[in-house]
Amino acid sequence: MSLVSPHITLCTITSFSIFHLISFFLLYSTFLHQSSHAIKKSYIVYLGSHSHGPNPSASDLQYATNSHYNLLGSHLGSHEKAKEAIFYSYNKHINGFAAVLEVEEAIKLAKHPNVVSLFENKGHELQTTRSWEFLGLENNNGVVPKDSIWEKARYGDGTIIAGIDTGQPMFSITVSMSKSW
């Protein structure tokens, strides 16, 4: 004679089976969701030189950008997907673009005959601690000597230290300073 009633056993088996069925469904849908949304990374795609010269017109630049969308769009399935993926178009001096792609998409794109190189876009940390001393700006105690280039250059006063490529035409500002007595 059994101490467990048939009703309790059936109820336990049913709830146990429903629990497993729900768990299986949740796990299965999670894996399906992950496989359809693979991890995307930023890549630089270099296509070689441009057909336009060193002074491109606005239409030359637009043509280069559109050619980037067309190339990537042919791999992603649409021009719109390419526009979403590309976040920078190198259309002046070098020919290429930066885009967010899945690994498989990048591997496929790298095999295209017009692609010279394709590599992951990674940040790099500066690895120097002795530049100031090496350049003669400070001595090893952190003191600026009187004959330092810092002193000679008035600590950079009036010096342009960087050029920023905004993709916009260059302009200049002339400042005239005169004393009025």
- Which tokens hold the place of 9? 């056993």
pLDDT at position 147, please?
Answer: 80
Domain spans of the chain, in order of start: 40-120, 126-159
Separation between Cα atoms, residue 100 and residue 87, nearest integer Å: 8
**Beta pairing partners, 117:** 46
pLDDT at position 179, please?
Answer: 43
pLDDT at position 19, please?
Answer: 61
Fold of the domain built from segment(s) 40-120: Alpha-Beta Plaits (3.30.70)
Separation between Cα atoms, residue 15 and residue 23, nearest integer Å: 12
Question: What stretch of H or E contains 117?
Answer: strand 117-120
pLDDT at position 122, please?
Answer: 86
CA–CA–CA angle 47, 101, 68 (5° rounding): 35
Which residues of the chain have a pLDDT value below 50? Answer: 1-2, 8-14, 33-35, 174-181
Question: pTM here?
Answer: 0.52
Separation between Cα atoms, residue 47 and residue 37, nearest integer Å: 28
The pLDDT tens digits for 108-145 are 999 999 999 999 998 877 776 677 777 777 777 778 78
pLDDT at position 3, please?
Answer: 52
pLDDT at position 146, please?
Answer: 80
pLDDT at position 177, please?
Answer: 44
pLDDT at position 61, please?
Answer: 94
Residue linked to tokens 């060193």: 54
pLDDT at position 23, please?
Answer: 61
